[in-house]
């Protein structure tokens, strides 16, 4: 019997030939723990460098509020601070990428685990140009999450700490995988937001000068 990842991937159709994957988009993954500032920094990158911002967390939260059967399942999983199954996340991500109308995409909060990564590579097949890792201490992330008070269902202390644990156990191995391929650009995200963005600007200025910076996984 195949692994959970194998089963998830088999359920998903690959992007059709001649469509989005062949338009040679530049894809950047943005990873960091909950409260590391991914949304804040992505907004600045969009403004300065013309990327479209796709937050998988927002996609999942929007679906969870839809009242659909899938949305109810997502809400239950998020309350536990756990990972949503890859087939659900990939389906939402695939649709958002195709509808973005942009050939430069920031994919925020993805891939969160090895299952996500394997499903993305099998289905969407667009290798990221780089992985931006916003590195921040757990203490600082917790302080930020408690202060932002956005009424999100996943922003209470108990769930927060579950999310930190999941990040360390599931997402850090993904970062290590991409680091082994020379893709990771690590930023000290514990600094004030403007200082963090100054570091990010250096990275994005260099990649924006490179034409056709993508690779399709065959």
Per-chain mean pLDDT for the chain: 84
The reported pLDDT for the residue numbered 212 is 38
% of the chain at pLDDT higher than 90: 62
CATH at 107: 3.40.50.300
The reported pLDDT for the residue numbered 47 is 95
In a domain, 73, yes or no: yes
pTM score, two decimals?
Answer: 0.79
The reported pLDDT for the residue numbered 7 is 35
Query: Does residue 6 register a pLDDT over 60?
Result: no
In a domain, 214, yes or no: no
In a domain, 72, yes or no: yes
> 71 is in which domain, residue-wise?
4-208
In a domain, 159, yes or no: yes
Q: How confident is the model at residue 3 (pLDDT cuts 50, 70, 90)?
A: very low
The reported pLDDT for the residue numbered 153 is 52
In a domain, 176, yes or no: yes
Q: pLDDT of 150-191, one tens digit each?
A: 555 555 778 888 889 989 999 999 999 999 999 999 999 999
In a domain, 115, yes or no: yes
Q: What is the mean pLDDT of residues 90-111?
A: 93
In a domain, 216, yes or no: no
Number of domains in the chain: 1
Q: What is the mean pLDDT of residues 22-39?
A: 90
Q: pLDDT of 54-84, one tens digit each?
A: 999 899 999 999 989 999 999 998 888 788 8
Residues 41, 194: Cα–Cα separation, whole Å: 9
In a domain, 218, yes or no: no
The reported pLDDT for the residue numbered 182 is 96
């Amino acid at each position: 019997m195949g692994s959970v990842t194998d089963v998830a991937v088999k359920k998903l159709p690959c992007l059709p030939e001649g469509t989005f994957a062949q338009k040679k988009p530049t894809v950047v993954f943005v990873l960091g723990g909950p409260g590391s500032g991914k949304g804040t920094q992505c907004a600045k990158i969009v403004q300065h460098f013309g990327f479209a911002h796709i937050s998988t967390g927002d996609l999942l939260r929007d679906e969870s509020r839809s009242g659909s059967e899938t949305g109810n399942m997502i809400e239950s999983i998020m309350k536990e601070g756990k990972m949503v199954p890859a087939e659900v996340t990939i389906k939402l991500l695939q649709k958002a990428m195709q509808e973005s109308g942009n050939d430069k995409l920031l994919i925020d909060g993805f891939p969160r685990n090895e299952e996500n990564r394997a499903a993305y590579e099998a289905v969407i097949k667009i290798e990221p140009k780089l992985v931006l890792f916003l590195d921040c201490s757990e203490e600082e992330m917790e302080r930020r999450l408690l202060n932002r008070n956005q009424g999100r269902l996943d922003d209470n202390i108990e769930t927060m700490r579950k999310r930190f644990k999941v990040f360390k156990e599931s997402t850090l191995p993904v970062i290590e995988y991409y680091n082994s391929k020379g893709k990771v650009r690590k930023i000290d995200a514990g600094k004030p937001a403007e200082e963090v963005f100054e570091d990010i600007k250096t990275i994005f200025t260099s990649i924006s000068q490179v034409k056709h910076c993508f690779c399709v996984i065959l």
